[in-house]
Amino acid sequence: MTHDLTLGAVAPQTLPADADPAAWVDWYWCEALPAWVEAARAPGAIGFHDVLDERGAPTNPRRRTILAQARLLFAFSHIALQSGAPRWHGAAQIARDAVAALRKAPGLYCLARSETEAPTGDPADEVMRSYDLSFVILGLATWGRLSKEDVSGELEACWRAVETVLTDPATGLMLEHDALSDPAAPDAPPRAQNPHMHLFEACLQAFEMTGAPDWLRRAGRMRAKGLEYFFDDETGTIAEFIAPDLSPLPSPEAERREIGHQCEWAWLLLREADLGGDPASRQIAARLLSFADRVGYESSGPMAGAVFDAVSADETWREDRFLLWPQTEAIKSCAVRAQDPVQADRARALAGRMFRSFFAGRCHYVNQLDQQGGVIWPEALSRLQYHTVLALTEGARAGLWRGPA
């Protein structure tokens, strides 16, 4: 298929260290993201590369995951809706074709395919994960609004897969994947909050994009199920995992709290309330944000102001590392409270810190830094564009900087 994609292959340029956060955001929309698209697209093959190394070369040019392609479908469809620019519609079409290539049957998507749409030969790549399916719903709903393609049937098929293939009938919790025969077995993977949070997000997006009331009801069910099993009322935090038999994990895993997820859950709870969902969600969001605001940020040193990867629920330890994605979730959590000047200033400071630390002077961006700002994980993961795009459009919606062009 030929795509209307007129993005420049301009190498990202570093702005002055003291550049205003709004200037960094403009740079991202006008230079950094277009340059990434040119590096990550694969003419003659499906979709976008999943990972680029520190030189901008793909690390595995022959494999495409549904997670990366579905997230990019959302990101580019979202930007196109915000900006009206045809170039982003063209990028979204590339991701849309890739998502279609990873579809096994109505509502069913495998973990990965080769760049030619053929199976990879690894049986593990034929598994369907609940986490991935959430992003298929997120991406397709947004694409349908943009393109006017009728995706309602496929969205319903995805939901049927959630209910019939990817839900544990004993608990109502999401299953990790469709090959899991006994989710309570000792050797089964831990039960995770993340698929519930992202399906909650996908249902809210589907409601906003389609107006169908069923999606708001489904969002409420996912929110309730996630909070039932993973919200720690004593500390006002979200746990990451519980054991397969629903018992707490051993320490320190049981106490680990990812700051990005405290912010992300809070943002979603506030969004649900704004869309007409349960207003009580606002109180839980406030507790999550109180925890994140209190203990989630580095206070000194080269990474001052950055968001930690994780801290303990009792606030006695922290991981002195900094992934890119928690910075974006913190930006969102501040932007949604930008009527408070303190939170508006924090969102701007976070955006400036993110660009100076993770993007400036890099070929594209890096994934993780240490306490001194040194690179731990140098690759640019394509799926992170979803986080960055959403954080920056939320900041634009709050009037903190300009939106995509």
Mean pLDDT rounded to a whole number for the chain: 95
Query: Residue 70: pLDDT band by 50, 70, 90 thresholds?
Result: very high
Distance of CA 81 to the CA centre of its chain: 18
**Predicted local confidence at residue 85, as pLDDT:** 95
Query: Residue 18: pLDDT band by 50, 70, 90 thresholds?
Result: confident
pLDDT surpasses 80 at 6:
no
Structure confidence by residue, pLDDT tens digits, 283-305: 999 999 999 999 999 999 999 99
Share of the chain above pLDDT 90, in %: 95
Asked if 382 contacts 328 with a C-beta cutoff of 8 angstroms, the reply is no
**Predicted local confidence at residue 9, as pLDDT:** 41
pLDDT surpasses 50 at 5:
no
pLDDT surpasses 50 at 32:
yes
pLDDT surpasses 90 at 233:
yes
**Model pTM score:** 0.96
pLDDT surpasses 50 at 334:
yes
pLDDT surpasses 50 at 8:
no
**Predicted local confidence at residue 13, as pLDDT:** 59
- The stretch 154-168 carries a mean pLDDT of 97
Asked if 237 contacts 262 with a C-beta cutoff of 8 angstroms, the reply is yes
- The stretch 43-61 carries a mean pLDDT of 96
**Predicted local confidence at residue 143, as pLDDT:** 98
**Domains of the chain (ranges, CATH numbers):** 21-178+185-397 (1.50.10.10)
pLDDT surpasses 50 at 7:
no
Asked if 383 contacts 67 with a C-beta cutoff of 8 angstroms, the reply is yes
pLDDT surpasses 60 at 158:
yes
Among 10-24, 94-108, 173-187, 381-395, the minimum mean pLDDT is found in 10-24
d(CA 168, CA 175): 6
**Predicted local confidence at residue 339, as pLDDT:** 98
Structure confidence by residue, pLDDT tens digits, 178-219: 999 999 999 999 999 999 999 999 999 999 999 999 999 999
- The stretch 365-385 carries a mean pLDDT of 98
